[in-house]
Structure 1
Amino acid sequence: RIGITLCHETNPEVIWKSVREVVVGRIRSQQHSVFDETDGQILSLNIMSSHYIQKQHDNRTFFHFEVAWDSSLHNSLLLNRCTSNGSSVYLTISLYIDIENVGQSVIITKDLSVVLYPRSGDSASRIRSSLKNFFLSTNSTTRLPMNDDHSNCIAAIYELKLRNASILDSITQDLSNLSPGVQRRQRKVIDTSKIYVRGEEMLHGWRPRGDSLIIEHQQDLEKLYKIECVCIQLLNIKKRFSFVW
């Protein structure tokens, strides 16, 4: 599991609603190297739990959630073998979190470095140390002695800016919340041309030309959905004015 804790000064306008999605990908051997899409797949992790944490003598807000991560599902050579001495494997984790009365999800991105050790008894302590410093090894702003609750360890600092949305944006967002399929259509299409997909033998060797057909279909669905949102709003306005008269 990967545990993530968000800490910020308490603000009545920032109320964490839910964790929409956690994505891990961009696996690479160097932090600033160009990402090779052939090495590993981008995974959307299962969200196990999310809750607020209350700490004594601390007025800040703590929001913690955990996700399940299996590195073998990436099909990455860098994650399926032990890391050589002095080297690290870099990957990127992205968080999509909803806030009360905010139209768009907050996106938090963080580069991480991990070291993979063999499964042996003499390396157990190194594994525990690696996991303990999982979020503290890349771009850390402060490296202080760790204590029991890790309250002094900061992995990254972000600035959150909220602005007033237009009426049309608010209407579109409210209507999109009624359709879970919209969020599914906005996800990235994974290219499965080079990996095995269960049941593909039933196609008898047939291969699609690529993901362009799916992307075009998603774009058409998105256009139809926007037209539907506008029509629904026009009908609501017409109904409201007819009721007033």
Structure 2
Amino acid sequence: MMSNLFSIFDPTTEISNLPLNWTSTIIGLMLIPTSIWLIPSRNSMTMSVLMNKMHQEMKTISSKGSINSGNTFILTSLFLMILANNFLGLFPYIFTSTSHLTLTLTLALPMWVSFMLFGWIKNTNHMFEHLVPQGTPTMLMPFMVIIETISNLIRPGTLAVRLTANMIAGHLLLTLLGNNGPSMSHTMLSILITAQILLLILEAAVAIIQSYVFAILSTLYSSEVN
């Protein structure tokens, strides 16, 4: 095991060289009872409302072409997947797969590449227009092309790092505070427990917000190529 500060996030649990920590990415599907899909319940109604809200949100900021191709449903499913994995990571002894660039880059990079290929092949003139914002002075046009090109190239990296960094930061803070518990007095321990509970609530909010941000930014990137 790694002996540094981030060793808790290192996927080292394995049997016969099979990394079992990564099974947390799909373990949520195994825990969902079949009745949630077969019999109408509060869980199924909540899930339906959530998906409809996300679909309408993405439909609002998407272009007409991306709606017809069903991109909003793909991105809504992506939102639910990231949200489930973020929440699973809040439970003790469950590996947080979204805190690793291995997963987040795997989600962000193929989407960005597909958006860029579609845009440059199908809407080449439109993509060139995006490199020079309207109203840019003639002298600044070469610099704007360079800046816009760099901003396009780093998009998958910023998507992946944003999600990973936010998930690691809260978990690391919870871990560092929790490790100081055995050496504290009873008064300080009660304060620490209260702080841990508040941080856990904050982490739950971060889990929702970061999955929403990932899905919405992906939707914005897809709308720019149409």
Q: Give the TM-score normalised by structure 1.
A: 0.30
Higher relative contact order (CA 8 A, sep 6+): 2
Structure with greater proportional strand content:
1
Q: Relative to total residues, which structure has the larger helix share, 1 or 2?
A: 2
Question: Larger Cα Rg: Structure 1 or Structure 2?
Answer: 1
**TM-score of the superposed pair, with normalisation by structure 2:** 0.32
